[in-house]
Homo-oligomer: A and B are copies of this chain.
C-alpha cells in the first residue's frame, strides 16, 4: 500500500523551481525580474526554473503573443485550469467536497451526510464524493490528479495515517492508503494526501488569504475542537513529530477539568462547543440543553450561562497569549463555528489576552474572520496543490 506516489506531473524538480512556482501562484502575474527581486534568485535561475513550468503548461507568459518568448519582462502567470484539485473535509457529521483550480478558486461544492463515523463508512463516503465531483465535468475527470482529505486531530501526512481523531473516535487509521485502495480502481489513479484540517486551511490562508505577506501568523479555529495553524519564518509549522498548533491542548486551567485527550486543564476542556454545552447543562441543571439554547439563554442575560461563556473566553485568551508569548506571530486570525457566539466572550478574550501577553507580544493583531464550511474543503484542496511541489 503506497498512499503517496510521486506524480511527476508538475516539473518542480528543484528548490528554485518551487520558489518560482509559489511566487507566481501567490503573487502572479509577476515578471521574471520581479520574481528574482522578491526571492533573491538570480534572473538566470528564474528563467531556467520557469522554462519547464511553461513548457508543461502550468505557467504562461502573459504577452507572449506580442513579443519574443522568454523575454525577462513578460509577466508570468498561472494557467489556473491546467490541473484541477479535489478537497474533502471530514467532519463528525458530514463530508464537504470541492473542486478547485490551481489557484484554489472553488468551482464546485458538495455536501454529503455521513451515515456513521466508522472507518468503512467514511472511506465509502469520500470515495463517492470524489466520483461525484469528477463527474461534474469532463475536464475535471481528465485533469485531476491530486486529492486532499482533511480531518481534525493528529494526522501524519507522510505516512497517511490518522493517528488520533477525537471526533471520529479513530486511532491509527491508515486513511490515505484505504482511500487510495478504494478510489484507484480501473483507470483512476489519484494521489491522495491526508492532513490536519487546520494546517490545511492555514496553507490556503497563507497563499490566498489573510496570511499573504505576513512572515508569521496564526489561524485559530473555535468550535467542536480548538485548533491552530501556524506560519513561522515563512513556512507552515508542521511539527517534527507531526503535531503542531494544538492550542486547544495548552493547559491553561491548571488542575481544571479533564480533557478528552487525557490531560487536564486544556483550553478545549473549557471552551470547545461540547465543553460549553456540558458546563451549561451542569450550571442550569438542564441535561437536554443544546448549544443554540445555551447561546440564546446567555444573550437573554442568564447569569449562569454568561459565566460559562466568560470562563471560555478566559481560557481562549490565555491560549492566544501563550501562543503570542511563545511564537510572536504578526497577527492571529480567529475563526471557526465558535465565532457564532463571539459576542458572548469577546471581551474576556481580549482582556485576558491583553493581561497575559508578555510585553510587546500584546501588539499582536487579533482578526475575527468567519470561515464558511466550504473554506475547509478549499483548505483540503490546497494540500493537494501543495503535493505538486513538496516531495
Chain A residues near B (Cβ < 8 Å): 14-16, 40, 42, 45, 153-154, 156, 163-164, 214-216, 228, 230, 232-235, 237-247, 249-256, 261-265, 318, 321-331, 355-356, 358-361, 363-364
- Check if B237 sits within 8 Å of A327, measured CB to CB: yes
Q: Which residues of B contact A256 (CB under 8 A)?
A: 254
Q: Is there contact, CB below 8 Å, between A263 and B42?
A: no
Chain B residues within 8 Å of A240, by CB? 214-216, 328-331, 364
**Across chains A and B, which 3 residue pairs bring their CB atoms closest together, nearest first?**
A239-B328, A15-B40, A240-B330
How far, in angstroms, from A244 to B328 measured CA to CA in the complex?
5
How many angstroms from the CA of A318 to the CA of B243 in the assembled complex? 16
Q: Which residues of B contact A234 (CB under 8 A)?
A: 233
CA gap between A233 and B215 in the complex, in Å: 12
Q: Are B326 and A228 in contact (CB under 8 A)?
A: yes
Report yes or no: B358 in contact with A246, Cβ–Cβ below 8 A. yes
B241 touching A360 by the CB < 8 A rule?
yes
User: CA of A252 to CA of B252 in the docked complex: distance in angstroms?
Assistant: 4
Interface centre among A42, A153, A240, A323 (most CB of B within 10 A): A240
Q: Across the interface, do A328 and B215 meet the contact criterion of CB distance under 8 Å?
A: no
- What residues of B have a CB within 8 angstroms of the CB of A324 in the complex? 243
Contact of A254 among B253, B325, B326, B364 (CB under 8 A): B253
CB neighbours (8 Å) of A232 from chain B are 232-233, 237, 327
The contact of A243 among B239, B253, B358, by CB within 8 Å, is: B358
- Scoring A246, A255, A331 by chain B CB atoms within 10 A of each residue's CB, the highest score goes to A246
- Contacting pair A327 B241 (CB below 8 A): no
B358:A263 contact, CB within 8 angstroms = yes
- Give the distance in Å from the alpha carbon of A244 to the alpha carbon of B327 in the complex: 5
With A250-B250, A261-B358 given, can you name 8 additional A-B contacts, CB distance below 8 Å?
A154-B360, A164-B359, A232-B233, A239-B361, A240-B330, A242-B359, A245-B326, A263-B355
Which residues of B lie under 8 Å from residue A163 when comparing CB positions?
359-360
Contact of A326 with B328 in the complex, beta carbons under 8 Å: no
Closest Cβ of chain B: how far from A365's Cβ, in Å?
9
Separation in Å of the A210 CB from the closest CB of chain B? 14
